[in-house]
Amino acid sequence: MTSVPIVADTAVPNPSLLARAIGFFSGPVGLAIKLILLGALNALAIWAIGVLLSEEKWIAALAIAAATLVIDLVYLVPSRRLIPLKFLVPGTVFLVAFVVIPIISNANIALSNWSTGHNLSKDEAIVAIEEVSLVAPADGTTYTATPATKDGELVLLLVDDVDGGLYVGSEDGLEPLPPEAARVDAGAIVAAEGYDVVQGEGLAGIDAALRGLVIPTGGDTFVRAEGLTLAIELQPTLEYDEATDTFTNIETGVVYKDNGEGSYESAAGEALEPGWRTYVGFENFSTILTDPLVRDPFVRVFVWTFSYAFLSVFIQFAIGLFLAIVLNKPDLKLQRIQRAFLVLPFAIPAFLSVLVWQGLLNDEFGVINETLGTSVPWLFDPTWAKVSCILVNVWIGFPYWFLVCTAALQAVPEELTEAARVDGAGPLQVFRRVTLPLLLVVTAPLLIASFAFNFNVFNNIYFLTGGGPYGVEQSVAGSTDILISYTYKLAFSAGQGAQYGLAAAVSIFIFFIVAGISAISFWRTKGLETIR
Amino acid sequence: MLSTRRLRVVAGLAVTAIAAVVAVSSGSSATNQATKLVIWADADRVPAVTQVANAWAAPKGVTVQVVQKNFGDIRSQLNTVAAETAPDVIVGAHDWVGELSANGSVLPLSPSAATKKQFPAYALNSFSYGIAVKKLYGAPVALENIALVTNTALAKVPTSFADMEKQALAAKKKTKAQVGIAVQQGSGGDAYHMYPFFSGLGGYIFGTNAVGNLDPSNIGVANAKFLKNAPLIDRWNKEALIRSQVAWDTGRDLFTKGKVAYYITGPWFLSDIQKSGVKYAISGFPQIVPGIKSVPFLGVQGFMVTKFSAPHGVESLAKDLVANYMMQPSAQLALALSNGRFPANLKAGAQVKDKDLKAFGKASAGGVPMPNIPQMASVWGDLGAAWVRSTKGAGAIPARRSFLGAQKSIAQKIG
């Protein structure tokens, strides 16, 4: 272990620190830390598996068990072949957790009908439909109820709200209670012979028994507790048949069948609420392609999104680069302070700047029109609103490019520009032929990433124009809606409120559009690499 | 030697894991023993809800946990919350009821007949929903609506719309303001605040069917009566009586700085108005067209019991709290006044002393509850946008064309 003498490199300050740290953590201390972390991870995994098993989610439980076992083996088994895995496993875990699982779950939602009215499981929906179908019969009675027990069994002591008659309600039905056997106070029975009235803290524990207590009163009507002090007579209007999986209206005989799209529907097309969440295959995708409400604005919104992202990045970059070059002169006075001021817009949270800009751009009351003495409809005219969106986005984004370009300019070798100048190139030529290409090598990947980012800046649109203004013929998408804000509106302000399935499908489209554009751009800019 | 080290490692791991599991499981079993009721409420109401719910819970040995949420988030988060952390009771607005019930997220309530008698019929109706069977899904707590606020130093409370128009324009000339009446809109529009104009010109949103339910296939955004009166909007735009450039903050500033004679707003800006020192009077809206009343939208806020209360084992407790305790006058007064609203319970309402709140209550007469069917989601944006298109000053589109467009697009979205 110590056969080779270490030659101290004087250029590195305090070279022994790293070595000492490695030595310190390689010993029992490191082992202890590793054991504690792995132990905590295992405890977490066992707890999670317990929860998942109790909810009968077998696949997830198995996946966690397998993953934990792999992690334990990688860090405990002393094999040289496993050493690369020690570095690969944590990254892979995070990749799966934060990239792969969200994509899978998004795709999963896109294939479902999850939306307003389709939010429950089918079993929950059946229970809810039965509950909603209960009505108070025309001659139904309401009672003031007092929960009580007899021989450990829960019953209801009831006072008829109309005639004041006293009853005991149990699973066997209603039994009259002799008035002398009960004490009534303020319309409710407070004590009864042979019964233990449930009161005080006892009330907290009877929920399940109370809800399970159905007191038959002849036919299909029954009396049931509503809350703790009230019981009402109810009658179902729909009947569920488990064998055929249908609901039948008891009065009219209309049959509601599972329509395969998460609802019970009658032959006349009337659906029962609520429905349930189910898989509908590629229906959401075909809706995007065929429904005029979705399809018609798509192209218009796509063109605007593309121009918005492209112009934003291009102008941001141009201004950032220009300022970086201007401020790059070494003999400039107050260079640092000037740079700091330019970075300010970048330091303010973007959505705050957007809200401030919204106030500044107001065409009747805004400072900008007031100062310029103009009456430009910044936010109320479709074209000007687009200009405003780009303007604000440029304000938010140019400091980033100023920083990037300032850094990149330092990296352009002085000798090259010097050589170009010696060869007789003017400053513009030096910039175009030497500085810019070298700069683009560094910044091209960032430009593409920034383009992809600006494709999806929801806040900047949502808080500035809200997608508006809307033309007379525009419905879901306004003149400044970009794809992501349009998706949001499609999901939350069309139809009956939330349409998660459809929105997830649109977001998958957006993913492919952005991924496609990025891939093409990266491929095209490969040419720049050869400049090196 | 290696194997003993391995053994130590495995033993150490097992010990830590077992210790942690024991700790986790004992912790969770301890919380399972106490009965806990989780309530979601907005920041303004948290103190009052905590106080009311605790007074109810103490004799029953129930623990109440009030979780603070943004009001609007309660509606959407109820769809996606995990069952373990889900609320048993939520505060909400009446116009959420259609969506929440269609989702099966809230449970029907049956307050006693004696309790129901203490509420105005519209408050209970607006919290009721159902295609075949209409059921009550919330306990109304607070009523809110917008009213006409007059700067009495600049103008008198109007006796007719023509009178209001004249006084507003005279004041506008005097103060050199950009508009005569401050109504908040903004580039996205605000259908809630323009509704008194819309209803006063004959517009409605959904008609009712034979059973008395709102009918989403009968859209009255551009009905014949409204279209006949719609050119008035173009006139108001031309004379700058109203302008959609007025946003929520500019509208408030115009009034509190004494620039406009009239302001259409709700009780939420009362404290700003009082602080400004402007002399004001609150009233209803004058009639615009003979035979048609100009009325505001009515909003009712209240509490609902969620589907999660049953698996949490607190359904009957939650129903007792919401449909019984919270509907009584004393709880109503505490809950409504906590954020400056008029209580829904009539007995509690009779105890309100504040003359401004009473005036807002009076202005609600004849008002229309915001439609609570889920299809309303398709209306807000288009209706607001239609108004903005016609009242944006230069380049405005004639109201007839604009509202016909809105009607078409709403119908298309509802499908």
pLDDT of residue A140: 81
B contact test, residue of A295, A470, A481 with most B CBs within 10 A: A470
Single-letter amino acid code for the residue at B234: D
pLDDT of residue A7: 44
Note whether A124 contacts B104, CB cutoff 8 Å: yes
Cα angle B409, B414, B415; round to 5:
95
**Helix or strand (DSSP H, E) at B56:** helix B46-57
Q: CA A44 to CA A51: how far, in whole Å? A: 11
Note whether B15 contacts A72, CB cutoff 8 Å: no
Identify any residues that bridge with A196 across adjacent strands, giving them in sequence order.
A149
Pick B35's closest partner by Cβ from A142, A205, A495: A205
Note whether B113 contacts A142, CB cutoff 8 Å: yes
Note whether A380 contacts B393, CB cutoff 8 Å: yes
Pick B103's closest partner by Cβ from A117, A474, A494: A117
Cα angle B405, B409, B410; round to 5:
115
Q: Tell me the C-alpha to C-alpha distance, in Å, between residue B93 and each of A136, B96, B213, B295.
A: 26, 6, 19, 19
Listed range (B4-8, B121-125, B347-351, B366-370) with the worst mean pLDDT: B4-8
DSSP state of B396: P
Task: Return the closest-CA partner of residue B101 out of B121, B70, B85, B79.
Answer: B79
Inter-residue contact B214 to B373 (CB < 8 Å): yes
A209 to chain B: closest CA residue: B313
Identify any residues that bridge with B66 across adjacent strands, giving them in sequence order.
B39
Q: CA B300 to CA B138: how far, in whole Å? A: 10
The answer to whether residue B27 neighbours chain A at the CB level (below 8 Å) is no
The answer to whether residue B153 neighbours chain A at the CB level (below 8 Å) is no
Inter-residue contact A244 to A258 (CB < 8 Å): no
Q: Confidence band (pLDDT; 50, 70, 90) for B13?
A: low
Inter-residue contact B35 to A204 (CB < 8 Å): yes
Contacts of B215 in chain A (CB under 8 A): none
Q: CA B334 to CA B243: how far, in whole Å? A: 38
B415 to chain A: closest CA residue: A495
Cβ atoms within 10 Å, residue B348: 24
Note whether A380 contacts B395, CB cutoff 8 Å: yes
pLDDT of residue A309: 93
Tokens matching residue A485: 């804000």
DSSP state of A270: P
pLDDT of residue B76: 86
Tokens matching residue A187: 């319309």
Helix (H, G, I), strand (E, B) or coil at B217: strand
The answer to whether residue B392 neighbours chain A at the CB level (below 8 Å) is yes
Task: Return the closest-CA partner of residue A355 out of A214, A226, A459.
Answer: A459
Scanning B81-178, the segments in alpha helix (DSSP H) are: 97-102, 113-116, 121-126, 161-175
Q: CA B177 to CA B169: how far, in whole Å? A: 10
Identify any residues that bridge with B38 across adjacent strands, giving them in sequence order.
B65
Inter-residue contact B179 to B391 (CB < 8 Å): no
Helix (H, G, I), strand (E, B) or coil at B209: coil
Note whether A468 contacts B385, CB cutoff 8 Å: yes
In DSSP notation, A351-376 reads HHHHHHHHHHH-TTT-HHHHHHT---
The answer to whether residue B385 neighbours chain A at the CB level (below 8 Å) is yes
End-to-end CA separation in angstroms for chain A: 42
Note whether A493 contacts B99, CB cutoff 8 Å: no
Scanning A412-499, the segments in alpha helix (DSSP H) are: 414-422, 427-430, 436-454, 458-464, 483-492
Cα angle B217, B219, B222; round to 5:
150
Identify any residues that bridge with A279 across adjacent strands, giving them in sequence order.
A112
Inter-residue contact A65 to A46 (CB < 8 Å): no
pLDDT of residue B241: 95
Task: Read off the pLDDT of each residue in B323-338 and give the average, rounded to a whole number.
Answer: 93
Pick B99's closest partner by Cβ from A116, A292, A469: A116
DSSP state of A494: B
Contacts of B21 in chain A (CB under 8 A): 43, 46-47
pLDDT of residue B23: 56
**pLDDT tens across B79-98, in order?**
889 888 999 999 999 999 99
Contacts of B111 in chain A (CB under 8 A): 230
pLDDT of residue A9: 47
Q: Exposure of A194 by Cβ count < 10 A (0-12 exposed, 13-18 middle, 19+ buried)?
A: exposed
Local mean pLDDT, 10-residue blocks, chain A (532 residues): 44 67 78 84 88 86 90 83 86 88 91 91 92 87 91 91 90 89 88 88 87 89 91 92 93 91 90 91 89 83 93 94 85 80 83 89 86 86 93 92 90 84 84 86 87 88 87 84 88 78 89 86 72 52
Contacts of A468 in chain B (CB under 8 A): 187-189, 385, 388
Which of the two residues, A335 and B139, has the higher pLDDT score? B139
Which of the two residues, B32 and A517, has the higher pLDDT score? A517
Tokens matching residue B108: 């029907």
A contact test, residue of B9, B105, B187 with most A CBs within 10 A: B187
Quote the radius of gyration of chain B (alpha carbons, Å).
Answer: 26
